[in-house]
Chain A
Amino acid sequence: MKDEKQLLNIKNLVVEYRTDGGVIHAVNGFDLSLKKGEALGLVGETGAGKTTVAKAILRILPDPPAKVCSGSIEFEGEDLLRLSEANMHRIRGNKISMIFQDPMTALNPVETIGEQIAEPVRIHNRVSRSEARKRTIEMLEMVGIPGERYSEYPHQFSGGMKQRVIIAMALACNPELLLADEPTTALDVTIQAQVLEMMANLKKDLDTSLILITHDLGIVAEMCEKVAVVYAGEIVESGTADDIFNHTAHPYTEGLFDSLPRINSTARRLRPIKGLMPDPSNLPEGCKFCPRCPYAEEICQKKNPDFTETTPGHFVKCHKRKGDA
């Protein structure tokens, strides 16, 4: 089937930050694949390496200190890590674009929002200024901002509107793949709902694939067909939303669900996951989650578990579940 074609295929990606204080292992052997039109939720705690993966895809990690050590990122059959910088310019903002976490700082304060949206259009499509302007106004109106506000500056917009401007900017060239890095974290709840709904509609209309980075499981349930749970730079569980939510296999995912407040639960206290994420400059030898895992056994301390398929499409990285399956 044509639709089954892989759009993005990340294999064994390793990213390190090399600082004076030592090497920080941000991403350790990351595998991920995404089909056209699919939405994938990348879930995990702060510092798990989610943003680093997204920036690695676009090759906009700050170098130094960040270094992609090994692995491949295949996009439409080409390895992005091997592309020349000039070819990479053609992909950024055009075929792959990114929505950043903090709308307050992600817009250039001294340029009008219109110019900022029109910029990728002009770079990638070789159109005249007036055509780019027309397209920009179209995009602005699509995200619910009146076109007259083209020549206003970021400081004249509220946070929610700025995020919409950023979304318009990311979608201006009809990208194949949209990387949304916590697009709603900085917004208040009512605006969150608006922005999410808008993204869902745009995704449907433009048939864009989406990687949604978040620590909010509710958003993932709403938006994504596939979910990957990230812990200490590795994917510990991945599968369809149904697999993850209803057939949770990894103890960490379990812990994530347990630490969510539930309105109809009689429990008086939340059950957070005990302990902290391991120091990424000093990762444990065996399973990275072992020190916090309630089911940990001897083998967990010694050997990093393999990523195994329990049911078709549902992968888990855990010794215990491997036996169960």
Chain B
Amino acid sequence: MSFFPASFNCMLAEATTPAVHSGFDTRDAFITTCFLFACACFILSLKWLSAPATARKGNHIGALGMTAAVVGALLSAGIVSYTWIIIGLVIGAAAGIPMAVLMPMTHVPQRTALSHAFGALAAALVGTAHYYMDFARVGTSPLIMGILALEVLLGALTFTGSLMAFGKLQDLLPTRPMTYKGQNIVNVSILILAALCGVFLAIWPEQQWIFPILIVLALAFGVMLILPIGGGDMPTVISLLNSYAGLSASLMGFVLNNKLLIVAGALDGASGFVLSIIMCKAMNRSFVNVLFGAFGQVASSSAATTEKKNVRSGTAEDAAQILEAANLVIVIPGYGMAVAQAQHKVREMYDQLTRRGVDVRFAIHPVAGRMPGHMNVLLAEAEIPYDKLVEMDDINTEFPQCDVALVIGANDVVNPAARHDKSSPIYGMPILNADQAKTVMAIKRSMNPGFAGIENELYFSENCMMLFGDAKAVISSIAKELADGQK
């Protein structure tokens, strides 16, 4: 019985529609079938996404499952008018299509953050509506009310948190970590207060005045939580927000007796969780450290005092000559490539070099860029075959044999300080061993340390040549040099 989407149990009881309560009618059976089918589709969808060969099939079956779920929902017995449903569906589709079709691939992290915000907002709105329509009037068990409060709390904090992340990724807000004294105490206090509101509501659900306080506290907590997060931690935070959005959908399933929501939400929650663990491991940090550590505050002061060291800088022509003579070139892309939108120029250079028989591979650090897999999508957009993109553990053994390591807008992921400098904030983080290459070339705008304010000793090493300038401009002149040289 409980598989039926009898979301508005109490409400329907008041409405006294006997047909709905007479047990097994065909409509209910059909809806249940739709929802079961959707569950199966979602699981298959994620399974098929595991490899590029089946990934598209996975996406299609996911969409099929979602269609079945929506059809099931549209047939629900509680619906008396379709006007607002259709208006909602049309507006939603009208907003979603351009966001997906027209947006440049470099904006994927922003879009993802924004969609986490939408998903969480939807969950929070449904939870809120359900509270006022139902629990506030007729009450419920403390357990269910507690879950609803937790669901709304998670939904609301994910909403503002994701909006903050969007603002930082879109450069509407400063990307630097924003910190102040006692920040963690303030954050934890807000969270505890919100949790207390939830407990009160669980015990006295009829105390309606507490509910708005809970929402305001949760919204505020979302903002405060993301303030101290810097750009480099975005991959972890986006994954974590992904997980929260899924979890709140799942919790809603508990409240509304809908197992489809529980399954789909749990899958999403698990996905975000796995991704954030991978991201944390790739930075050798813990969740707590990412959320409350305010990365990059420590080193900025020490970096300023460093004495002037010698840096060797070269021109695109020098770079082209060295690259041309190489056997194996490993390219290390980072956020700088994304910002400069240099991926297509990288492709031109890749073409020029492969034409000369140079083996060009790409080393992808898990946290390169602003979200998990960010570099892969950009390079795939530039039509670089994905078997040339190699993960960190597999490529690290190849650096000693490689002639040139070309660093494009990456910084911390190639900083050897992570291996030996215990005072460095990135100490212990697994890095790409670019320093072991015969020659290192690093494309950088200037010698200013990156957002984290950490000096990178790689740039001062004997075998390193700096190419100063915008990543796109530098790569494009290298590609041009290579093309001219061939004539």
> Are A and B bound to each other?
no
Task: Point out residues on A near B: beta carbons under 8 Å.
Answer: none
Task: Point out residues on B near A: beta carbons under 8 Å.
Answer: none
